[in-house]
Every structure is written in structure tokens, then in C-alpha cells.
């Protein structure tokens, strides 16, 4: 599968089969995160792989009851370990860096036939308590990982001319 096929065909998965994810596939997905680029090559990230049923159920509760998280055999929780570092442009580096790694993982998962759903709606404090995340570390995102149990959803996107302009901001 080429990259554009993965980008154009992937969609968020909110229903999962109980089927386990093969260990070699999980390793490849985590390797995609490990190889991701980051500002100053800081790599200030940590990915928590959760398989325990009870922990996944607690995470679903922390994610405002989005129960499909707990359906998936795996949940990956992506953390930024140095949240104070800023880039020259004034943006915090960790949110950008961790998000790039998550995007790479999601595309790699799709190529391997696995579904994901980027999750930003969760109570960070509760999530940190559940997973024993240190005070200074931030939780940026989480995603269930598993085999989809739903048809792919239709893509709804703005048109190209709504989002692209040339030479100057319009």
C-alpha cells in the first residue's frame, strides 16, 4: 500500500472485534512512532501500551464514556515527557512531536489492516492517575488499536480551494 492510499482510505474506527493484535504488527506500529521526526530530534515521548481489560475500561470512563476504547484489544496512550520545551515559532514542541508520531502510527496500523481512532476527548488528570503517569508528563492522545468491526465511514472534508491559497493569506 502506498502512503496516499493509506491517507485517503483510512477512517476512524469506533467498533472493534475481540481478535488480538499480532505482536509483530504492534511492534511495527510502535516502530513507526519511534522513527518519527521531532523538533531538534528531541523524541520527548512515551507510548503506553494497555492490554489489561480493567485498565481499558477505566480509560473509557476517563474518555467521557467512549466505551469503544475498551472494546479494542489494545489502547495506546501517547505522552509528552518534556512539556516545557518551546519551538522558535512559539508553539510547544511536545504536542506537535507526539502528534506526528501518533499520525505515523495510525497510518502504519491502517497499512497492517488495523483500525484506530485518535482520541482527544479524555480527562487528563484521571488518565494520568490510572496509568501512573508522573506529574510533569502530559497525555496528548490515545487510540484504540484493533480489527475494525464496522464499515469505513465516508470522508467529509473541506474543498481544496477552501484550505489552500497561494503567495499570500486569503
Ligand X SMILES: Cc1cc2nc3c(=O)[nH]c(=O)nc-3n(C[C@H](O)[C@H](O)[C@H](O)COP(=O)(O)O)c2cc1C
Residues binding ligand X (CB under 6 A)? 11-12, 14, 66, 117-121, 153, 155
Residue of minimal Cβ distance to ligand X: 120
Q: How far is the CB of 115 from ligand X (least distance, A)?
A: 10
Please report how close the Cβ of residue 37 comes to ligand X at its closest, in angstroms: 18
Of residues 155 and 158, the one with the C-beta less far from ligand X: 155
Which of 90-99's residues contact partners 24+ apart within 8 Å by CB, and which partners?
Answer: 93/38, 93/39, 93/40, 93/42, 93/44, 94/44, 94/45, 94/138, 94/140, 95/140, 96/39, 97/36, 97/38, 97/39, 97/42, 97/43, 97/44, 97/45, 98/44, 98/45, 98/140, 98/141, 99/140, 99/141
Task: Kindly give, in sequence order, each residue whose CB lies less than 8 Å from that of residue 3, ignoring residues fewer than 6 positions away.
Answer: 107
CB 150 → ligand X: shortest distance, Å?
A: 11
Nearer to ligand X, 163 or 166 (CB): 163
Residue with smaller CB distance to ligand X, 86 or 121:
121
Nearer to ligand X, 12 or 43 (CB): 12
Cα 133–Cα 106–Cα 114 angle in degrees, nearest 5: 110
Q: How far is the CB of 38 from ligand X (least distance, A)?
A: 18
Tell me how far, at minimum, the Cβ of 57 lies from ligand X, in Å. 17
Name which of 157 and 168 has its Cβ closer to ligand X: 157
Amino acid at each position: 500500500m502506498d502512503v496516499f492510499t493509506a491517507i485517503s482510505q483510512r477512517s476512524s474506527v469506533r467498533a472493534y472485534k475481540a481478535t488480538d493484535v499480532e505482536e509483530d504488527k504492534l511492534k511495527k506500529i510502535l516502530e513507526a512512532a519511534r522513527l518519527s521526526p521531532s523538533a531538534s530530534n528531541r523524541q520527548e515521548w512515551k507510548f503506553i501500551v494497555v492490554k489489561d481489560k480493567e485498565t481499558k475500561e477505566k480509560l473509557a470512563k476517563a474518555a467521557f464514556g467512549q466505551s469503544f476504547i475498551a472494546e479494542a484489544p489494545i489502547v495506546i496512550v501517547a505522552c509528552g515527557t518534556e512539556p516545557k520545551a518551546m519551538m522558535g515559532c512559539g508553539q510547544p514542541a511536545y504536542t506537535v512531536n507526539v502528534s506526528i508520531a501518533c499520525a505515523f502510527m495510525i497510518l502504519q496500523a491502517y497499512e497492517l489492516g488495523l483500525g484506530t481512532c485518535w482520541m482527544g476527548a479524555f480527562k487528563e488528570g484521571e488518565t494520568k492517575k490510572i496509568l501512573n503517569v508522573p506529574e510533569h508528563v502530559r497525555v496528548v492522545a490515545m487510540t484504540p488499536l484493533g480489527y475494525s468491526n464496522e464499515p469505513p465511514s465516508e470522508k467529509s472534508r473541506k474543498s481544496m480551494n477552501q484550505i489552500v491559497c497561494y503567495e499570500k493569506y486569503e
